[in-house]
Amino acid sequence: MMKSILKSPLTGASLFVLVIALLLFSLTNTQVTLARLCFGILVMFTFLWFVLIKLYNQKNPNDRIKLFGFIPSEFREIDEGQQWVTYKACRNVYIYYTFALPTAAGICFFFSHNILAPLMCIGGLGLGQYIVYWLTTIRVLNRI
């Protein structure tokens, strides 16, 4: 169970949402308390994640989780079937970005007077990427 939690795409997505929330709250001068709270949660969550990975790697030396890896842990490419699922999901994320990037650029252009617009767009792009990838992998794996 610990391996599925540590390798879940929701872990990375939640860290990403916390970083975006921290940046959003730090830009508004009235939300200093929320920014500090968000930063504290982010630090605690990251520290807990590192500790859990160290514990898992000590208990399972043959099935280690890389702490700093270039390949995301969502890519489970053990055999050709899983490589195909990863291919389909990455293809759908690429298609998502062909529509989402021009839309985000337009939103940033039209709302250029608002300092939060670029951060909200970056947050929306990242969250959308996780959602598209995750839904694609679940949909394809449920058909198999």
- 62 and 94 in a single domain? The answer is no
- Ranking 60-64, 71-75, 98-102, 140-144 by mean pLDDT, the lowest is 71-75
In-domain check, residue 34: yes
Q: 118 is written with which tokens?
A: 């670029």
Residue 99: give the domain boundaries: 77-144
Question: In this structure, are 54 and 110 located in the same domain?
Answer: no
Q: Are residues 104 and 138 in the same domain?
A: yes
Same-domain check for residues 83 and 143:
yes
Say if CB 103 and CB 128 are below 8 A apart. no
pTM of the model: 0.58
Tell me which of 16-20, 42-46, 92-96 is least confident: 16-20
Q: pLDDT tens digits, residue range 19-77? A: 777 776 776 666 667 767 777 777 888 788 788 888 888 888 887 777 766 566 556 66
Boundary of a domain, candidates 67, 93, 123: 67
- DSSP class of 66: P
Question: Which of 105, 143, 139, 141 has its CA nearest to residue 124?
Answer: 105
How many structural domains does the chain have? 2
Query: CB-hemisphere CA count at 13 Å for 136?
Result: 22
81 shares its domain with 63: no
